């Protein structure tokens, strides 16, 4: 095997990011860059079986015991785990060079910390990890001299544009497509159905993040993520509405120079950049970008129409366990919205109410973070 081959684990291999990550690996010209050591998924056993056949991992983990038994009966030599402990088994592997955290929700947090403590880099596609426990996660990375490499397209754009020189930045500009409700009135947004909210104009993503994009909560979570990833105060993080979604984000250096990362929307590029960082590799062919005929427009976000973004800034500035409340309340509400039980307005009102009732715990431990998370979920 090539001497620079990296041992890779993928959490969430059957999800939107996971499947695109495997597409990236298959398309890489240099097949010796990565060795897929382990895969973890929830309940899509059928797809996992195909992935095992193709990528031949040593270990896998699935959501429940029944699925684990099914996999074990087909692949008797494979190490098979399940549940939250299974994710820890995957992460707690000192042979790993990099782990892609592509699970959604809070399940990715503990395994991410575990892998970092073992010195593995993290290709991070899970927002909750930094939103809930940004201080703990970035500290774990620093202590182990491991890197947190963003997969989120905006943060990848900031990493690419800044060249990693975060101390030289005046500010960063995170772009937002504005989602399907950009040109709707506040009243129309509040009345919107699940089907309306799932019509995202630019990106094809999972359902939870698509709803978050419609309320701009996704952008709010990204602001908090950026604060931790790039060690920047909230005053230096701007959001610009950019419906064309061609400028994926930009940075302004202290000398006034602005550098942006541009391209047609594709998650393959940020996934590959995070995996191969700091190198550029030949991989998935994308159509060459042309500036000709393109129009780029930018606008300030409307906090009146999209209060979730404002709440996220405020929760981030307060810090401590406030972002945990923001994330948990929002997540519970989004799943209720997806089931048709509540409306957009209820998402906003519930998050607002939970934030206003919460007294933030400063410098929380992981256990305190999970306790707050659990408390909010139990209540809603």
Q: Which stretch binds Mn ion (CB under 5 A): 100-108, 149-157, 249-257, 341-349?
A: 149-157
Full DSSP string of 96-107: -SEEEE---SGG
Stretch touching Mn ion by CB under 5 A, among 106-114, 146-154, 241-249, 294-302: 146-154
User: Which CB atom, from 19 or from 350, has the smaller least distance to Mn ion?
Assistant: 19
Residue 362 buriedness (CB in 10 A; 0-12 / 13-18 / 19+) = exposed
Residue 107 contacts residue 87 (beta carbons within 8 Å)? yes
Q: Is 184 in contact with 229 (CB distance < 8 Å)? A: no
Relative to beta strand 98-101, strand 6-11 is parallel
Output 39 or 267, the one with its CB closest to Mn ion: 267
The Cβ of residue 150 has, within 10 Å, a number of other Cβ atoms equal to 27
Q: Residue 177 CB, nearest distance to Mn ion (Å)?
A: 9
Q: Where is 66: in which H helix or E strand? A: helix 65-74
d(CA 89, CA 34): 20
- Min dist CB 374 to Mn ion, Å, is 27
Interaction between residue 225 and Mn ion (CB under 5 A): no
Nearer to Mn ion, 171 or 200 (CB): 200
Instruction: Decide whether 205 or 366 has the Cβ nearer to Mn ion.
Output: 205
Q: Which stretch binds Mn ion (CB under 5 A): 93-101, 151-159, 331-339, 353-361?
A: 151-159
* SS3 state at 277: coil
- Provide DSSP, 337-350: HHTTSS-HHHHHHH
Q: Is 331 exposed, middle or buried (0-12, 13-18, 19+ CB in 10 A)?
A: buried
For Mn ion, the closer of residues 152 and 354 by Cβ is 152
> Considering the rule CB under 5 A, would residue 128 count as an interface residue with Mn ion?
no
- Calculate the CA 227 to chain-centre distance: 14
Rounded least distance, CB 136 to Mn ion, Å: 22
Quick one: 52 or 241, whose CB is closer to Mn ion? 241
The structure tokens listed for 98 are 């990099």
CA angle at 326 for the pair 317 and 223, rounded to the nearest 5°: 50
According to CB under 5 A, which residues from 328 to 347 bind Mn ion? none
Which CB sits closer to Mn ion, 35 or 104? 104
In the bound state, the residue with its beta carbon closest to Mn ion is: 152
When the beta carbons of 35 and 156 are compared against Mn ion, the nearer one is 156
| Total count of residues recorded for the chain | 380
Q: Taking CB under 5 A as the rule, does residue 152 contact Mn ion?
A: yes
What backbone torsions phi and psi does residue 29 show, to the nearest 5 degrees?
-65, -40
Residue 159: CB minimum distance to Mn ion, A: 13
Q: Name the minimum Å distance from CB 247 to Mn ion.
A: 13
Q: Tell whether residue 373 is a contact of Mn ion (CB under 5 A).
A: no
Under the binding rule (CB under 5 A), the answer on residue 354 touching Mn ion is no
| Total residues at interface with Mn ion (CB under 5 A) | 2
- Residue 74 Cβ vs Mn ion, minimum distance, rounded to whole Å: 36
CA distances (Å), origin 293, targets 96, 250, 289, 290, 296: 45, 21, 11, 8, 10
In angstroms, give the least distance from the CB of 219 to Mn ion: 8
Tokens representing 144 are: 């182990």
Give the range of 112-120, 148-156, 251-259, 292-300 binding Mn ion by CB under 5 A. 148-156
Least Å distance, CB 152 to Mn ion, is 4
Contact between 259 and 162 under an 8 Å Cβ cutoff? The reply is yes
If the CB atoms of residues 48 and 131 are measured against Mn ion, the closer one turns out to be 131
Stretch that binds Mn ion, among 8-16, 109-117, 147-155, 173-181 (CB under 5 A): 147-155
Maximal C-alpha separation, the chain: 61
- Minimal distance, residue 155 CB to Mn ion, in Å: 7
Site for Mn ion, rule CB under 5 A: 152, 154
């Amino acid at each position: 095997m090539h001497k620079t081959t990296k041992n890779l684990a993928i959490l969430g291999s059957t999800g939107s990011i996971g499947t695109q990550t495997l597409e990236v690996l298959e398309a890489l010209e240099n097949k010796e860059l990565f060795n897929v050591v382990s895969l973890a998924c929830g309940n899509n056993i059928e797809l996992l079986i195909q992935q095992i056949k193709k990528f031949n991992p040593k270990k896998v983990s699935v959501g429940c015991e029944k699925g684990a038994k099914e996999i074990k009966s087909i692949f008797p030599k494979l190490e098979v785990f399940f549940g939250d402990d299974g994710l820890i088994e995957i992460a707690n592997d000192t042979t790993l060079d990099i782990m892609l955290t592509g699970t959604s929700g809070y399940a990715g947090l503990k395994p991410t910390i575990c892998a970092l403590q073992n010195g593995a880099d993290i290709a991070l596609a899970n927002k909750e990890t930094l939103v809930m426990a940004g201080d703990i996660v970035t500290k774990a990375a620093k202590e182990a001299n491991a890197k947190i490499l963003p997969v989120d397209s905006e943060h990848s754009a900031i990493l690419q544009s800044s060249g990693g020189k975060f101390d030289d930045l005046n500010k960063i500009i995170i772009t937002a497509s504005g989602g399907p409700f950009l040109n709707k009135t506040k009243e129309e947004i509040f009345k919107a159905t699940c089907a309306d909210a799932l019509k995202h104009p630019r990106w094809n993503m999972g359902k939870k993040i698509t709803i978050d994009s419609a309320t701009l909560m996704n952008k709010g979570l990204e602001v908090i993520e950026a604060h931790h990833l790039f060690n920047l105060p909230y005053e230096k993080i701007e959001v610009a509405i950019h419906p064309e979604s061609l400028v994926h984000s930009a940075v302004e250096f202290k000398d006034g120079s602005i550098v942006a990362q541009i391209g047609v929307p594709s998650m393959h590029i940020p996934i590959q950049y995070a995996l191969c960082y700091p190198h550029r590799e030949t991989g998935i062919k994308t159509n060459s970008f042309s500036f000709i005929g393109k129009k780029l427009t930018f606008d300030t976000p409307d906090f009146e129409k999209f209060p979730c973004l404002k709440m996220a800034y405020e929760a981030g500035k307060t810090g401590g366990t406030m972002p945990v409340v923001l994330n948990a309340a929002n997540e519970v509400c989004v799943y209720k919205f997806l089931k048709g039980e509540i409306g957009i307005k209820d998402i906003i009102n519930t998050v607002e109410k939970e934030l206003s009732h919460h007294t933030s715990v400063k410098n929380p431990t992981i256990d305190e973070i999970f306790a707050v998370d659990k408390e909010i979920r139990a209540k809603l």
